[in-house]
Amino acid sequence: MMNIEKIDRILRDTAYIRTGGSAQELACAKTLIGECEKLGLTAKLESFDVPMAVMHRARLTVDGQQIPCKGYLCAGSGDIEAELVYAPELTPCALSTCRGKIVLLDGYLGYWKYQDILSSGAAGFITYDGNANYADEDIDQRELRSYVSKGEKRLGVNINAKAAIELVRSGAQRARITLEQDEFMGQSHNVVCELPGETDEWIVLTAHYDSTSLSTGAYDNMSGCIGLLGVAEAMLNKPRRRGLRLIFCGSEERGLLGSKAYCAAHETELSNVALNVNLDMIGSIMGSFNAICTSEERLVHFIEYSASIQGFSLKARQDIYSSDSTPFADKGVPAVSFARNATANTATIHNSYDTLKVMSAARLAQDIDLISTFVETMTNARHFPVKRCMPDRMKDKLDVYLGRKRDKDA
Protein backbone atom coordinates (compact mmCIF):
# COMPACT_ATOMS: atom_id res chain seq x y z
CA MET A 1 0.00 0.00 0.00
CA MET A 2 0.96 3.67 -0.22
CA ASN A 3 3.15 3.73 2.89
CA ILE A 4 5.16 6.53 4.43
CA GLU A 5 8.44 5.42 2.85
CA LYS A 6 6.96 5.38 -0.66
CA ILE A 7 5.33 8.79 -0.16
CA ASP A 8 8.60 10.32 1.02
CA ARG A 9 10.47 8.83 -1.94
CA ILE A 10 8.06 10.22 -4.55
CA LEU A 11 8.07 13.64 -2.90
CA ARG A 12 11.87 13.70 -2.98
CA ASP A 13 12.08 12.40 -6.56
CA THR A 14 9.79 15.18 -7.84
CA ALA A 15 11.11 18.08 -5.76
CA TYR A 16 11.88 20.39 -8.67
CA ILE A 17 10.16 23.22 -10.56
CA ARG A 18 8.00 21.87 -13.42
CA THR A 19 6.08 24.64 -15.14
CA GLY A 20 3.51 23.79 -17.80
CA GLY A 21 5.03 22.99 -21.18
CA SER A 22 8.60 22.75 -19.86
CA ALA A 23 11.07 19.89 -20.21
CA GLN A 24 10.88 19.47 -16.44
CA GLU A 25 7.12 18.98 -16.60
CA LEU A 26 7.59 16.26 -19.21
CA ALA A 27 10.26 14.60 -17.05
CA CYS A 28 7.79 14.52 -14.16
CA ALA A 29 5.12 13.03 -16.44
CA LYS A 30 7.51 10.20 -17.28
CA THR A 31 8.20 9.67 -13.59
CA LEU A 32 4.45 9.29 -12.97
CA ILE A 33 4.22 6.78 -15.83
CA GLY A 34 6.99 4.84 -14.12
CA GLU A 35 5.09 4.88 -10.82
CA CYS A 36 2.00 3.51 -12.56
CA GLU A 37 4.10 0.76 -14.16
CA LYS A 38 5.42 -0.23 -10.73
CA LEU A 39 1.79 -0.98 -9.85
CA GLY A 40 1.46 -3.15 -12.95
CA LEU A 41 -0.59 -0.51 -14.78
CA THR A 42 -0.13 0.99 -18.22
CA ALA A 43 -0.12 4.77 -18.52
CA LYS A 44 0.14 6.93 -21.62
CA LEU A 45 0.92 10.52 -22.51
CA GLU A 46 -1.72 12.67 -24.19
CA SER A 47 -0.20 15.86 -25.56
CA PHE A 48 -1.97 19.17 -26.11
CA ASP A 49 -0.87 22.55 -27.42
CA VAL A 50 0.03 25.38 -25.04
CA PRO A 51 1.29 28.90 -25.78
CA MET A 52 4.94 29.29 -24.83
CA ALA A 53 7.46 32.13 -24.79
CA VAL A 54 11.15 32.70 -24.21
CA MET A 55 11.86 36.06 -22.60
CA HIS A 56 15.08 37.67 -23.81
CA ARG A 57 14.72 41.02 -22.10
CA ALA A 58 12.36 42.46 -19.50
CA ARG A 59 13.06 45.88 -18.06
CA LEU A 60 11.11 48.30 -15.87
CA THR A 61 12.42 51.79 -15.26
CA VAL A 62 10.55 54.19 -13.00
CA ASP A 63 11.67 57.81 -12.71
CA GLY A 64 15.08 56.81 -14.04
CA GLN A 65 15.56 53.94 -11.59
CA GLN A 66 15.60 50.31 -12.76
CA ILE A 67 13.19 48.10 -10.79
CA PRO A 68 13.75 44.31 -10.66
CA CYS A 69 10.94 42.65 -12.62
CA LYS A 70 9.87 39.71 -14.73
CA GLY A 71 8.08 40.38 -17.99
CA TYR A 72 4.71 38.80 -18.68
CA LEU A 73 5.16 35.89 -21.04
CA CYS A 74 2.98 35.92 -24.17
CA ALA A 75 2.29 39.65 -23.71
CA GLY A 76 4.13 40.72 -26.84
CA SER A 77 7.35 42.67 -27.39
CA GLY A 78 7.92 46.38 -27.48
CA ASP A 79 8.81 49.50 -25.55
CA ILE A 80 6.42 51.92 -23.90
CA GLU A 81 6.89 54.94 -21.64
CA ALA A 82 4.01 56.66 -19.89
CA GLU A 83 2.77 58.23 -16.69
CA LEU A 84 2.39 55.74 -13.83
CA VAL A 85 -0.90 55.47 -11.96
CA TYR A 86 -1.79 53.20 -9.04
CA ALA A 87 -5.30 51.73 -9.29
CA PRO A 88 -6.01 49.46 -6.29
CA GLU A 89 -9.66 49.19 -7.30
CA LEU A 90 -10.83 49.34 -10.89
CA THR A 91 -13.93 51.37 -10.26
CA PRO A 92 -15.32 53.55 -13.08
CA CYS A 93 -13.70 56.52 -11.32
CA ALA A 94 -10.28 54.83 -11.21
CA LEU A 95 -10.54 53.55 -14.77
CA SER A 96 -11.21 57.06 -16.03
CA THR A 97 -7.65 57.99 -14.98
CA CYS A 98 -5.90 55.11 -16.80
CA ARG A 99 -6.01 56.12 -20.47
CA GLY A 100 -2.55 56.19 -22.00
CA LYS A 101 -0.89 55.30 -18.67
CA ILE A 102 0.95 52.36 -17.15
CA VAL A 103 -1.27 51.01 -14.37
CA LEU A 104 -0.01 49.46 -11.13
CA LEU A 105 -2.61 46.88 -10.05
CA ASP A 106 -3.40 45.09 -6.83
CA GLY A 107 -4.17 41.40 -6.96
CA TYR A 108 -4.19 38.82 -9.70
CA LEU A 109 -4.63 39.75 -13.36
CA GLY A 110 -7.85 37.88 -14.09
CA TYR A 111 -10.05 38.06 -17.16
CA TRP A 112 -12.31 40.94 -16.14
CA LYS A 113 -9.51 43.00 -14.61
CA TYR A 114 -7.59 42.77 -17.87
CA GLN A 115 -10.67 43.60 -19.92
CA ASP A 116 -11.23 46.65 -17.73
CA ILE A 117 -7.74 48.05 -18.28
CA LEU A 118 -8.06 47.35 -22.00
CA SER A 119 -11.34 49.25 -22.19
CA SER A 120 -9.83 52.09 -20.17
CA GLY A 121 -7.15 52.60 -22.82
CA ALA A 122 -4.23 51.80 -20.51
CA ALA A 123 -0.85 51.59 -22.24
CA GLY A 124 0.59 48.84 -20.02
CA PHE A 125 0.40 47.30 -16.57
CA ILE A 126 2.44 46.31 -13.52
CA THR A 127 1.43 43.62 -11.02
CA TYR A 128 3.19 42.44 -7.89
CA ASP A 129 3.39 39.40 -5.65
CA GLY A 130 5.32 38.18 -2.63
CA ASN A 131 4.96 39.43 0.92
CA ALA A 132 6.19 42.74 2.31
CA ASN A 133 7.04 41.04 5.62
CA TYR A 134 9.20 38.27 4.11
CA ALA A 135 12.95 38.67 3.67
CA ASP A 136 13.01 37.35 0.10
CA GLU A 137 12.79 39.45 -3.07
CA ASP A 138 11.17 36.67 -5.11
CA ILE A 139 9.21 37.57 -8.24
CA ASP A 140 6.87 35.06 -9.85
CA GLN A 141 7.01 34.50 -13.59
CA ARG A 142 3.54 35.46 -14.85
CA GLU A 143 1.98 35.09 -18.29
CA LEU A 144 -0.79 36.86 -20.17
CA ARG A 145 -3.07 33.90 -20.75
CA SER A 146 -4.57 33.60 -24.21
CA TYR A 147 -8.14 33.28 -22.94
CA VAL A 148 -7.58 36.49 -20.94
CA SER A 149 -6.06 38.59 -23.73
CA LYS A 150 -8.03 37.08 -26.63
CA GLY A 151 -5.27 38.37 -28.87
CA GLU A 152 -5.28 41.96 -27.61
CA LYS A 153 -2.01 42.42 -25.79
CA ARG A 154 -0.51 45.09 -23.55
CA LEU A 155 3.03 45.03 -22.21
CA GLY A 156 3.23 44.11 -18.55
CA VAL A 157 5.70 43.17 -15.81
CA ASN A 158 5.52 41.61 -12.38
CA ILE A 159 7.52 42.94 -9.40
CA ASN A 160 7.96 42.13 -5.72
CA ALA A 161 5.47 43.55 -3.22
CA LYS A 162 8.17 45.55 -1.42
CA ALA A 163 9.09 47.33 -4.66
CA ALA A 164 5.43 48.09 -5.34
CA ILE A 165 5.00 49.63 -1.91
CA GLU A 166 8.05 51.82 -2.45
CA LEU A 167 6.72 53.05 -5.81
CA VAL A 168 3.47 54.17 -4.20
CA ARG A 169 5.17 55.56 -1.08
CA SER A 170 7.57 57.66 -3.14
CA GLY A 171 4.86 58.98 -5.46
CA ALA A 172 6.52 57.57 -8.58
CA GLN A 173 5.56 59.53 -11.69
CA ARG A 174 6.73 57.89 -14.91
CA ALA A 175 7.48 54.33 -16.00
CA ARG A 176 8.98 52.57 -18.98
CA ILE A 177 8.45 48.89 -19.86
CA THR A 178 10.61 47.03 -22.37
CA LEU A 179 9.90 43.43 -23.37
CA GLU A 180 11.66 41.27 -25.94
CA GLN A 181 10.43 37.69 -26.27
CA ASP A 182 9.86 34.91 -28.77
CA GLU A 183 6.36 33.42 -28.66
CA PHE A 184 5.49 30.01 -30.07
CA MET A 185 3.21 27.01 -29.60
CA GLY A 186 4.57 24.24 -27.41
CA GLN A 187 3.19 21.11 -25.82
CA SER A 188 2.12 19.98 -22.39
CA HIS A 189 0.90 16.52 -21.46
CA ASN A 190 -1.73 14.65 -19.50
CA VAL A 191 -0.83 11.22 -18.13
CA VAL A 192 -3.78 8.81 -18.41
CA CYS A 193 -4.05 5.42 -16.69
CA GLU A 194 -7.09 3.13 -16.48
CA LEU A 195 -8.36 0.40 -14.18
CA PRO A 196 -11.32 -1.05 -16.13
CA GLY A 197 -14.55 -2.05 -14.44
CA GLU A 198 -17.43 -4.42 -15.18
CA THR A 199 -19.51 -1.73 -16.93
CA ASP A 200 -18.80 1.02 -19.43
CA GLU A 201 -19.27 3.67 -16.72
CA TRP A 202 -16.23 5.47 -15.31
CA ILE A 203 -15.13 7.50 -12.33
CA VAL A 204 -12.41 9.94 -13.37
CA LEU A 205 -9.78 10.90 -10.81
CA THR A 206 -7.66 13.99 -11.50
CA ALA A 207 -4.67 15.74 -9.97
CA HIS A 208 -2.26 18.20 -11.60
CA TYR A 209 1.47 17.61 -11.52
CA ASP A 210 2.85 20.93 -12.81
CA SER A 211 4.08 23.73 -10.55
CA THR A 212 4.49 27.48 -10.69
CA SER A 213 7.80 29.13 -11.53
CA LEU A 214 9.03 29.53 -7.94
CA SER A 215 7.64 26.34 -6.44
CA THR A 216 8.75 22.71 -6.27
CA GLY A 217 5.08 21.95 -5.73
CA ALA A 218 5.20 19.34 -2.98
CA TYR A 219 1.92 20.53 -1.47
CA ASP A 220 0.50 21.97 -4.71
CA ASN A 221 0.27 19.41 -6.09
CA MET A 222 2.52 16.37 -6.01
CA SER A 223 0.49 15.49 -2.92
CA GLY A 224 -2.59 15.03 -5.09
CA CYS A 225 -0.66 12.93 -7.61
CA ILE A 226 0.52 10.63 -4.84
CA GLY A 227 -3.11 10.50 -3.76
CA LEU A 228 -4.14 9.18 -7.19
CA LEU A 229 -1.41 6.54 -7.05
CA GLY A 230 -2.56 5.58 -3.56
CA VAL A 231 -6.18 5.18 -4.64
CA ALA A 232 -5.11 3.10 -7.64
CA GLU A 233 -3.01 0.85 -5.42
CA ALA A 234 -5.88 0.42 -2.95
CA MET A 235 -8.30 -0.52 -5.75
CA LEU A 236 -6.00 -2.80 -7.75
CA ASN A 237 -7.25 -6.13 -6.41
CA LYS A 238 -10.76 -5.12 -5.43
CA PRO A 239 -13.98 -5.55 -7.40
CA ARG A 240 -14.77 -2.58 -9.61
CA ARG A 241 -18.26 -2.23 -10.99
CA ARG A 242 -17.18 1.04 -12.64
CA GLY A 243 -13.80 1.70 -14.15
CA LEU A 244 -11.34 4.15 -12.69
CA ARG A 245 -9.54 6.54 -15.01
CA LEU A 246 -6.60 8.42 -13.52
CA ILE A 247 -5.61 11.68 -15.21
CA PHE A 248 -2.47 13.44 -14.03
CA CYS A 249 -3.12 16.87 -15.55
CA GLY A 250 -0.49 19.12 -17.07
CA SER A 251 -0.48 22.93 -17.06
CA GLU A 252 -3.16 23.35 -14.40
CA GLU A 253 -1.31 26.33 -12.98
CA ARG A 254 -1.60 28.02 -16.37
CA GLY A 255 -5.40 28.04 -16.29
CA LEU A 256 -6.54 24.39 -15.98
CA LEU A 257 -5.20 23.77 -19.48
CA GLY A 258 -4.73 20.01 -19.08
CA SER A 259 -8.22 19.24 -17.84
CA LYS A 260 -9.73 21.64 -20.37
CA ALA A 261 -7.80 19.88 -23.15
CA TYR A 262 -8.89 16.46 -21.93
CA CYS A 263 -12.56 17.44 -21.76
CA ALA A 264 -12.38 18.95 -25.25
CA ALA A 265 -10.64 15.94 -26.79
CA HIS A 266 -12.89 13.38 -25.05
CA GLU A 267 -16.18 15.27 -24.92
CA THR A 268 -18.20 12.47 -26.49
CA GLU A 269 -16.92 10.04 -23.83
CA LEU A 270 -17.91 12.22 -20.88
CA SER A 271 -21.49 10.90 -20.96
CA ASN A 272 -20.09 7.69 -19.48
CA VAL A 273 -18.33 9.51 -16.62
CA ALA A 274 -20.43 9.28 -13.47
CA LEU A 275 -18.18 11.40 -11.24
CA ASN A 276 -14.95 13.36 -11.17
CA VAL A 277 -12.85 13.09 -8.00
CA ASN A 278 -10.13 15.73 -7.95
CA LEU A 279 -7.21 15.89 -5.49
CA ASP A 280 -5.43 19.21 -5.10
CA MET A 281 -3.33 19.88 -2.00
CA ILE A 282 -3.64 17.11 0.58
CA GLY A 283 -1.30 15.73 3.23
CA SER A 284 0.00 18.98 4.71
CA ILE A 285 1.09 18.96 8.35
CA MET A 286 -1.42 21.66 9.21
CA GLY A 287 -4.86 22.47 7.86
CA SER A 288 -8.44 21.24 7.74
CA PHE A 289 -9.68 18.66 5.27
CA ASN A 290 -12.33 19.87 2.84
CA ALA A 291 -14.59 18.40 0.18
CA ILE A 292 -15.86 20.91 -2.37
CA CYS A 293 -18.79 19.48 -4.33
CA THR A 294 -19.76 20.92 -7.69
CA SER A 295 -22.87 18.79 -7.81
CA GLU A 296 -26.24 18.37 -6.22
CA GLU A 297 -26.12 19.24 -2.52
CA ARG A 298 -26.91 15.71 -1.38
CA LEU A 299 -23.34 14.67 -2.13
CA VAL A 300 -22.13 17.19 0.48
CA HIS A 301 -24.10 15.45 3.21
CA PHE A 302 -23.13 11.97 2.05
CA ILE A 303 -19.43 12.81 2.25
CA GLU A 304 -19.81 14.39 5.69
CA TYR A 305 -21.73 11.39 7.01
CA SER A 306 -19.28 8.89 5.51
CA ALA A 307 -16.26 10.67 6.96
CA SER A 308 -17.93 10.85 10.37
CA ILE A 309 -18.56 7.09 10.33
CA GLN A 310 -14.82 6.62 9.75
CA GLY A 311 -13.95 9.05 12.55
CA PHE A 312 -12.41 11.48 10.06
CA SER A 313 -12.80 15.23 10.62
CA LEU A 314 -13.98 16.86 7.39
CA LYS A 315 -15.87 19.90 6.17
CA ALA A 316 -17.89 19.68 2.96
CA ARG A 317 -19.68 22.35 0.95
CA GLN A 318 -21.36 22.91 -2.39
CA ASP A 319 -19.14 25.20 -4.45
CA ILE A 320 -16.61 25.25 -7.27
CA TYR A 321 -12.89 24.77 -6.69
CA SER A 322 -10.17 26.48 -8.68
CA SER A 323 -8.74 23.23 -9.96
CA ASP A 324 -9.16 20.49 -12.55
CA SER A 325 -12.63 19.53 -11.33
CA THR A 326 -14.05 22.70 -12.89
CA PRO A 327 -13.82 21.78 -16.62
CA PHE A 328 -15.52 18.45 -15.89
CA ALA A 329 -18.29 20.15 -13.93
CA ASP A 330 -18.70 22.63 -16.77
CA LYS A 331 -19.44 19.66 -19.05
CA GLY A 332 -22.13 18.45 -16.63
CA VAL A 333 -20.06 15.84 -14.78
CA PRO A 334 -20.68 15.92 -11.00
CA ALA A 335 -17.37 16.66 -9.30
CA VAL A 336 -15.80 16.74 -5.87
CA SER A 337 -12.39 18.15 -4.99
CA PHE A 338 -10.65 16.97 -1.85
CA ALA A 339 -8.12 19.36 -0.29
CA ARG A 340 -6.38 19.87 3.03
CA ASN A 341 -6.28 23.65 3.25
CA ALA A 342 -3.61 25.00 5.56
CA THR A 343 -3.53 28.58 6.79
CA ALA A 344 -1.18 30.94 4.94
CA ASN A 345 1.25 31.09 7.86
CA THR A 346 1.72 27.29 7.93
CA ALA A 347 1.74 26.31 4.24
CA THR A 348 1.60 28.67 1.27
CA ILE A 349 1.45 27.91 -2.43
CA HIS A 350 2.72 29.41 -5.70
CA ASN A 351 5.97 30.51 -4.07
CA SER A 352 9.33 29.18 -2.94
CA TYR A 353 7.91 28.11 0.44
CA ASP A 354 5.94 25.20 -1.01
CA THR A 355 8.46 22.50 -0.14
CA LEU A 356 8.72 19.14 1.61
CA LYS A 357 8.88 21.01 4.92
CA VAL A 358 5.11 21.62 4.97
CA MET A 359 4.25 17.99 4.20
CA SER A 360 3.50 14.98 6.41
CA ALA A 361 3.72 11.55 4.81
CA ALA A 362 1.65 10.11 7.67
CA ARG A 363 -1.07 12.72 7.18
CA LEU A 364 -1.04 12.12 3.43
CA ALA A 365 -1.49 8.38 3.98
CA GLN A 366 -4.51 9.10 6.22
CA ASP A 367 -6.02 11.38 3.60
CA ILE A 368 -5.52 8.71 0.93
CA ASP A 369 -7.32 6.13 3.09
CA LEU A 370 -10.37 8.39 3.42
CA ILE A 371 -10.44 9.16 -0.31
CA SER A 372 -9.92 5.49 -1.24
CA THR A 373 -12.88 4.42 0.88
CA PHE A 374 -15.08 7.04 -0.79
CA VAL A 375 -13.92 5.99 -4.27
CA GLU A 376 -14.51 2.31 -3.52
CA THR A 377 -18.05 3.06 -2.34
CA MET A 378 -18.85 5.03 -5.48
CA THR A 379 -17.11 2.55 -7.76
CA ASN A 380 -19.24 -0.36 -6.54
CA ALA A 381 -22.58 1.36 -5.97
CA ARG A 382 -25.29 -0.85 -7.51
CA HIS A 383 -27.14 2.28 -8.57
CA PHE A 384 -25.06 5.44 -8.81
CA PRO A 385 -26.49 7.82 -6.21
CA VAL A 386 -25.23 11.16 -7.56
CA LYS A 387 -27.55 12.70 -10.12
CA ARG A 388 -25.96 13.83 -13.35
CA CYS A 389 -27.38 17.32 -13.19
CA MET A 390 -25.73 20.61 -12.39
CA PRO A 391 -27.75 22.88 -10.07
CA ASP A 392 -28.47 26.38 -11.37
CA ARG A 393 -26.44 27.87 -8.51
CA MET A 394 -23.39 25.90 -9.65
CA LYS A 395 -23.96 26.81 -13.30
CA ASP A 396 -23.96 30.46 -12.29
CA LYS A 397 -20.70 30.07 -10.36
CA LEU A 398 -19.11 28.26 -13.30
CA ASP A 399 -20.11 31.08 -15.63
CA VAL A 400 -18.45 33.61 -13.31
CA TYR A 401 -15.29 31.56 -12.76
CA LEU A 402 -14.82 30.85 -16.46
CA GLY A 403 -15.29 34.50 -17.43
CA ARG A 404 -18.59 34.12 -19.22
CA LYS A 405 -20.21 36.70 -16.97
CA ARG A 406 -19.19 39.08 -14.21
CA ASP A 407 -19.67 38.42 -10.54
CA LYS A 408 -22.46 40.72 -9.40
CA ASP A 409 -20.98 40.82 -5.88
CA ALA A 410 -17.39 41.59 -6.91
Sequence-distant (6+) residues with CB within 8 A of 217 are: 14, 17, 18, 209, 210, 211, 354
Mean predicted confidence (pLDDT) in 362-389: 97
Beta carbons of 287 and 340 less than 8 angstroms apart: yes
Q: What angle do CA 282, 365, 18 make, to 5 degrees?
A: 45
pLDDT tens-digit map of 91-121: 999 999 999 999 999 999 999 999 999 999 9
Mean predicted confidence (pLDDT) in 356-365: 97
Domain boundaries 64-172, corresponding CATH code: 3.50.30.30
> In which band, very low, low, confident or very high, does the pLDDT at 409 lie, cut at 50, 70 and 90?
confident
Mean predicted confidence (pLDDT) in 369-382: 97
Alpha-carbon dihedral angle through residues 378, 379, 381, 382, given to the nearest 10 degrees: 160
How far apart CA 189 and CA 324 sit, in angstroms, is 14
How far apart CA 342 and CA 346 sit, in angstroms, is 6
Helix axes 4-13, 223-235, angle to 10 degrees: 140
Higher pLDDT, 2 or 29: 29
pLDDT tens-digit map of 20-70: 999 999 999 999 999 999 999 999 999 999 999 999 999 999 999 999 999
Beta carbons of 203 and 242 less than 8 angstroms apart: yes
> In which band, very low, low, confident or very high, does the pLDDT at 152 lie, cut at 50, 70 and 90?
very high
End-to-end Cα, the chain, rounded Å = 46
| pLDDT score, position 410 | 67
For the chain, what percent of residues have pLDDT higher than 90?
A: 98
How far apart CA 308 and CA 314 sit, in angstroms, is 8
Mean predicted confidence (pLDDT) in 339-344: 95
Question: Among 5, 71, 363, 359, which residue's Cα sits nearest to residue 215?
Answer: 359
Q: 3-class secondary structure for 127-148?
A: EEECCCCCCCCCCCCCECCHHH
pLDDT tens-digit map of 156-169: 999 999 999 999 99
Beta carbons of 124 and 155 less than 8 angstroms apart: yes
Q: What is the mean pLDDT of the chain?
A: 97
> In which band, very low, low, confident or very high, does the pLDDT at 1 lie, cut at 50, 70 and 90?
confident
CA distances from 196 to 154, 170, 225, 318 (A): 48, 63, 20, 29
Mean predicted confidence (pLDDT) in 265-289: 98
Please say if the pLDDT value at position 175 is more than 90: yes
> In which band, very low, low, confident or very high, does the pLDDT at 2 lie, cut at 50, 70 and 90?
confident
Q: Where are the domains of the chain?
A: 4-51+187-401, 64-172
> How many other CB atoms are found less than 10 A from the CB of residue 301?
12
| pLDDT score, position 324 | 98
Please say if the pLDDT value at position 211 is more than 70: yes
**For the domain with range 4-51+187-401, which CATH number is right: 3.40.50.300, 3.90.1150.10, 3.30.70.260, 3.40.630.10?**
3.40.630.10
pLDDT tens-digit map of 318-331: 999 999 999 999 99
Q: How many CA atoms lie within 13 A of 286 on its CB side?
A: 9
4-51+187-401 and 64-172 share one fold? no
pLDDT tens-digit map of 212-244: 999 999 999 999 999 999 999 999 999 999 999
